[in-house]
Amino acid sequence: MALITGIHHVTALAGNPQTNLDFYAGILGLRLVKKTVNFDAPEVYHFYYGNEIGEPGSILTFFPYGEIMKGRHGKGMLNTTTFSVPMSSLNYWQERLKKFNVTFKQPQQRFDDEAVIYFEDADGLGLELVFNDKDNRAGFTYGHIPSENSIKGFYNVEIWEEGYERTAAILTEQLDHTLIAEKSNRFRFAATNSPGNYVDILCAPDSLKGLGGGGTVHHIAFATANKKTQEEVRMKMAQRMLNPTPILDRQYFTSIYFREPGGVLFEVATAEPGFLVDEDKAHLGEALKLPEWYESHRKTIEQAVATVSFNAEKFT
């Protein structure tokens, strides 16, 4: 049985938290499923965006530092996170991005059944919308984006590497992925062959090395069912001399981390227990949630993070 089922989440570094919230919940219409803090630096928010309940394959998370040095896209980095939308929403999204002054590149054909537009958030994070008709997942909407046009979750991620082989070996030999498509310098892998789980490796030997900072991805997490399967993955990583961390409690999942040979930080996160563990579905993302070990510091933490608010109607 496969231990890895696909992509769990992508985590990126951002600047202003309100700008981040307005862009992802407002312009893109993702649900803010959790507002918490960075468990390793509790003076910084941790925002989780996703579909209605933040299922694996839909979760993009941010550490919005307020002030942060800008990073640089390049090899050894996950440079583009793509979202899945219906083919019929192409005009809608082009008009919407124009309306909110988001510069985007003209639609490109990628694989046969995919049209893609590239754009960036205010910090320069690489994003795409992939227009396709093979995604059966329901999109989430706050009501300000018609549900027939709403984002369904990730489509794929794009990692740039000097060469694809060493990273591919980790994906296929340790993380239950198979090569499902390739075109010129793009190699597409998946643990489950469906939108939300595609991992594209681009051979980009001529690009500069990526540098972490604002507008770059910190890590990608792959999904595993539970702690038992996670421990099995951890053993495989240790045998491969990849130095996985111990299992860490992230409240909504548990995590292990290791760096793949090309330089990208990989995480394996459990699908359990998920974001409903401390908030009900109707109110996800509304309150600042802290793990119990930070509850006694709530006042200090609330003063340290900037107050943010979100009103979907401003983004109709």
Contact of 60 with 10, CB cutoff 8 Å: yes
The answer to the question of residue 7 lying near Zn ion (CB under 5 A) is no
- Write the CB contacts of 129 (distance below 8 Å, at least 6 apart in sequence): 82, 83, 84, 85, 93, 116, 117, 119, 151
Q: Could you say which of 21, 221, 256, 308 contacts Zn ion (CB under 5 A)?
A: 221
Q: Could you say which of 3, 4, 6, 11 contacts Zn ion (CB under 5 A)?
A: 11
SS (H, E, C) 160-190: EECCCHHHHHHHHHHCCCEEEEEECCEEEEE
Sign, Cα dihedral of 255, 304, 58, 105: negative
Stretch that binds Zn ion, among 4-12, 33-41, 45-53, 229-237 (CB under 5 A): 4-12
Q: 22 vs 267, which CB is nearer to Zn ion?
A: 267
* Closest distance to Zn ion from the beta carbon of 266 (Å): 10
Stretch that binds Zn ion, among 83-91, 184-192, 221-229, 294-302 (CB under 5 A): 221-229
* Closest distance to Zn ion from the beta carbon of 13 (Å): 12
The answer to the question of residue 218 lying near Zn ion (CB under 5 A) is no
Q: 11 vs 207, which CB is nearer to Zn ion?
A: 11
How many residues contact Zn ion, by CB under 5 A?
3
Q: Which two tokens stand for residue 299?
A: 């006042």
* Closest distance to Zn ion from the beta carbon of 88 (Å): 33
Q: In angstroms, rounded to a whole number, what is the distance separating the alpha carbons of residues 199 and 197?
A: 6
Q: 170 vs 256, which CB is nearer to Zn ion?
A: 256
* Closest distance to Zn ion from the beta carbon of 34 (Å): 12
Burial of 243 by CB count in 10 Å (0-12 exposed, 13-18 middle, 19+ buried)? exposed
Q: Could you say which of 135, 164, 267, 268 contacts Zn ion (CB under 5 A)?
A: 267
Contact of 207 with 160, CB cutoff 8 Å: yes
The answer to the question of residue 254 lying near Zn ion (CB under 5 A) is no
Contact of 130 with 85, CB cutoff 8 Å: yes
Q: 256 vs 284, which CB is nearer to Zn ion?
A: 256
Residue 239: CB atoms within 10 Å: 9
> Which residues make up the interface to Zn ion (CB under 5 A)?
11, 221, 267
